[in-house]
Amino acid sequence: MRLSLAQIEVRPADVAGNVDRAVDAVERASADGADLVVLPELFTVGYFAFESYARNAEPLDGESLTGLRETAAAEGVGVLAGSIVEDLAASADAGEPVPAEDGLANTAVFFDRDGERRAVYRKHHLFGYGSAESELLVPGERVPTVEFEGFTIGITTCYDLRFPELYRGLVDRGVTLALVPSAWPYPRVEHWRLFPRTRAVENLLYVAAANGVGTFEDDELLGRSTVYDPWGTALASSGDEPALVTAEVDPARVASVREEFPALEDRRTR
């Protein structure tokens, strides 16, 4: 499978422009042969544009996700629209299961090649250190998986990387590829290099961490989107400029690594 991480520039509260850049990236990745394209965290509003969350929140059938759904179908490519600020009340009014009757969530949506919505993941771990995310958003409750091109795919978001038990749970559900839309800023470059690679090594799976780039008032996203294989080897990576980060990934590789080095069989849970 050809996997592409769309490291786009995310501008504060420029929803229309950000979505246009996301759609363009999906189209370019598809033209390059991608089977699956992953977008960054809060690519619509920008993670650090906290004051714009409420006014730019959308339901699952809102304009931004509809545009990505239509692009996925038109291009015949899987898309992780990796994430928007979701208006939970509006989603509930449309008959969607939500973790709360109202409020906002950091929500990633997986669309199949035909545009069908296959999974909705609402970020579980909300960042509180120098961030308003934990004050403004409702955490998710479900951890869905998706079958796609021979992989069992799990979705986590950015800060989730610091909580290894979440990934152990994914392994127990058969996940072989973890997609991680993110908005990771400077100066925590070494943390960004460490956590996705560690999650790949300890769980013997692929980890694809898609970061954005862009500058906010006091923060700058550091890019460096990377695809790691089950040994923790970086298959493709980038700097801190807009880029498509593309790698060939193979579900058989996960099985062979786990057979060669069966560390997961030695786990003791009690």
User: Is 101 tagged catalytic?
Assistant: no
Phi-psi region of 162 (alpha: psi -120 to 50; beta: other; left: phi over 0): alpha
Measured distance CA(93)–CA(2) in Å, rounded: 37
Measured distance CA(239)–CA(247) in Å, rounded: 16
Q: List helix spans (H) across the chain.
A: 15-31, 53-56, 63-75, 88-93, 133-136, 164-172, 189-203, 251-260
SS3 content of the chain, % helix, strand, coil (to 5): 35, 30, 40
Q: Check 41, 58, 86, 133 and give the catalytic one.
A: 41
Measured distance CA(236)–CA(72) in Å, rounded: 23
The enclosing H or E element of 248 equals: strand 243-248
Whose CA is closest to 169, among 257, 255, 269, 259? 269
Q: Check 58, 75, 123, 133 and give the catalytic one.
A: 123
Q: Check 58, 75, 86, 158 and give the catalytic one.
A: 158
3-state SS, residue 259: helix
User: Is 123 tagged catalytic?
Assistant: yes
User: Is 241 tagged catalytic?
Assistant: no
Active site residues: 41, 123, 158
